[in-house]
Amino acid sequence: MGHRSYLTILGVLFAILFVALAIDPVDRADWLLENALVGGFLLVSVLIHRHFAFSRLSATFIFIFLCLHEVGSHYTYSLVPYDAWFKALTGITFNELVGWKRNNYDRVVHFGYGLLLAYPVREIFLRVVAVRGFWGYFLPLDVMMSTSMLYELIEWAAASFFGGDLGMAYLGTQGDVWDAHKDMALASTGALIAMAITMAINFALQRDFASEWAESFRVKNDRPVGEAAVVGLWRSRRTD
């Protein structure tokens, strides 16, 4: 199967799931809020697909994460009935099995955010920014941590703006005052695991792994670029 065909199949499957879960969600207003960022991501993906197409592995990770998110947005994250589904199959709830006291679907998806999307972010850094060595692992981790924090700020701002039941449904804290902190920690842990696995595979298979890491720490420009660079730009502008 060709690369383009594989991406098309993923796109069609996601479109089917999206439409199915868009029908009669538990809370339509919350569904719209939850899918605002998804809509933005899909729009950007369509606009740049001719210039940048993700690998099959990255596209698969993105597809899985978006599917998990759509389930959460359909039911609202705190009401996803995974316990009922699990009990129907096994006769016991999943929370009883693992000792959870709350609906942790949101925590699973935050962990999945880091675990599944760190690699696609790494692919962007490798192919667009051309980073190498240490920075090819650290920067994706850094982006996942910072965007996780940014999302928590967006949640807080949206909940404050809309207030009431909609705000609480979107925030989904379920009474945990440390909810945002735990979500960020889980996303960071997922990204750390993803980069650790990626690094381990490359360490085992990449012959120049050590030399690439050493090169990534080498100073490429020994001239300072702080105030001296600003002065240089100012002088060049005046002489133009």
How many independent structural domains does the chain possess? 1
The pLDDT, as a whole number, for residue 173 is 59
Query: Each residue of 133-165: pLDDT tens digit?
Result: 999 999 999 999 999 999 888 878 877 777 666
Q: Which residue has the higher pLDDT, 172 or 181?
A: 181
Please report the DSSP string for 114-156 in residue order.
HHHHHHHHHHHIIIII---TTHHHHHHHHHHHHHHHHHHHHHH
The pLDDT, as a whole number, for residue 227 is 75
Residue from 109, 114, 105 nearest 187 by CA? 114
Residue 206 is part of which domain span? 3-239
Residue from 144, 225, 129 nearest 183 by CA? 144
* pLDDT of residue 71 exceeding 80: yes
Q: Any residues with CB less than 8 A from the CB of 213 and at least 6 apart, and which?
A: 133, 134
Residue from 13, 19, 7 nearest 50 by CA? 7
The half-sphere exposure of 198 on its side-chain side, counting CA atoms within 13 A, is 25
Whole-angstrom distance, CA of residue 97 vs CA of residue 90:
10
Least confident of 26-40, 74-88, 175-189: 175-189
